[in-house]
Structure 1
Amino acid sequence: MEASLAACILAALLASGSCLQCEVCTELGTSCSGTVQTCSAGLDSCGITLIEQTLVGMKQQVIVKACISSDRCNLGPLTMNFGNGVTMKQGIACCVGDACRTTTVTVPPADPKPNGRRCPACVAVLSAQCNEGIIDCTGAETRCIEIAGTTTIGGTTTSMTMKGCASEDLCANTTEASESFAGISTDLTFKCKASGTARGPVGLLIPALAGLLLMQLLS
């Protein structure tokens, strides 16, 4: 902590603005606690992300606290639907300092109204091929998304592919994300039928996708 504080003071002397520190943690459920870390340049807010995933009526939540860019604090609904009762929703709240102790976050409410968009949908675990169906997108899910990659659990690598509907802000661009969570290492590629250059928030979904894979394997 002393070294981190010294680095913070040095950064403040060398550049304008203050040095932000945020609690960093990831846990299943709606709360977590972790170490306070100094944020990298460009990450000017503390973010609390709550992700809710549903697998055929079974719900699981994951909370992530991390340093993030403040341009992600006012994102619209972040939701995905992969068909056959598999959905994912994400809410983000931002805070700085003591405000993070009382800041709460919720996931977007369900919006079952069809929006006219239709997308291929499927979930394939242990296979890179997906048995596609077509689903009607609802609410803010106006883009088609495809997630593909590998997940390693206990030394065993598994392929997975997911396709479905996604909301505009979630599907801002094509990107890649890699992360380890609860002994699960995930390396995924996200592709959307949308254009854009801004860095999207999909990386924060990695813990939830890892949990969803585990739910699939145990079901």
Structure 2
Amino acid sequence: MQDLLKVFPLFVILTIGTSLKCEVCYNLGLACHGPVKTCPPKKDTCVVAFAESTIEGKTILTVEKSCDSSKICSTPPMYFYLGLGKTLRTSLTCCRGDACGKVKPKLPPIETKANGKQCPTCYAWSDTCNAKMMNCTGLETYCFDVAATTYSNGQRQRNIMKGCTTKSVCVSITRGQSHFLGSVDVVEKAKCTPDVSRGSRSSELLLLTFSGLLLLKFLS
């Protein structure tokens, strides 16, 4: 017993010494700088996330660095067309140490050629959304429908988003809860037509999506 008590403090020191540390920051543009923080036990990777929001030709790019679960590392780059000139592109990269400072955005390309698919599209920070049918482009052969409630600084706001996206994004769509930029986003509905998400459970799906939605709110 005494031998175990002698070993335990050493084990604690070694555990603390190997804790993951990541730079945590958020900024407009391609770069941000912030404090290096020790990650919680379930956050086992550093993440650099980019989101680009466009409305009627006006584009804003943001970057965020944080700790997160390595489960999100397989999240594909995402592209959403919301109609009437509104688009959202996102990407994330998992990294550690100095490599995080060299990450560049890998946003999916913007397609302009119509592919024959049409989806109801709309974007609104309210309980209702007046959807209009729009032509999808490129690989966007799926319609998505997302509804969520965002809590920020004690305020509740409901968001509805519908539009065109790709199969890889739809495969990942699920209901869940994600914590991002200090807000809590409760996903009430997240589905695609046609349905390709059966059996898919990626609880971190909308991590980047709602970061970009906040930008769209400021742009609109």
> TM-score scaled by structure 2?
0.76
1:199 alignment partner in structure 2: 203
The answer to whether the Cα contact below 8 Å between 2:176 and 2:203 also exists between their aligned partners in 1 is no
Counting matched residue pairs gives 204
Displacement of 1:197 in angstroms is: 1.6
CA distance in structure 2 between the partners assigned to 1:57 and 1:161 by the alignment: 22
1:212 alignment partner in structure 2: 216
Deviations 1:172-195 (CA, angstroms, capped at 9, x unpaired): 12223455748x775444512231
CA distance in structure 2 between the partners assigned to 1:170 and 1:99 by the alignment: 26
1:106 alignment partner in structure 2: 106
- Determine helix, strand or coil for the equivalent of 2:158: strand
Match for 1:9 among 1, 4, 14?
A: 14
Structure 1 pair 27/71, CA: closer, same or farther in 2 (3 Å)? same
- Determine helix, strand or coil for the equivalent of 2:83: coil
2:46 alignment partner in structure 1: 46
- Determine helix, strand or coil for the equivalent of 1:206: helix
Structure 1 pair 110/25, CA: closer, same or farther in 2 (3 Å)? same
What's the Cα RMSD here?
3.0
| Unmatched tracts of structure 1, length 5 or more | 1-5, 13-17
CA distance in structure 1 between the partners assigned to 2:99 and 2:155 by the alignment: 42
Letter in 1 for 2:108: P
Higher alpha-carbon Rg: 2
1:161 alignment partner in structure 2: 160
> TM-score scaled by structure 1?
0.76
Structure 1 pair 178/20, CA: closer, same or farther in 2 (3 Å)? closer
| Unmatched tracts of structure 2, length 5 or more | 1-10
Pick which of 46-55 and 152-161 moved more: 152-161
**1:179-190 superposed matches below 5 A:** 179=179, 181=181, 187-190=186-189
1:3 alignment partner in structure 2: none
Structure 1 pair 181/73, CA: closer, same or farther in 2 (3 Å)? closer
Identity of aligned pairs, percent? 32
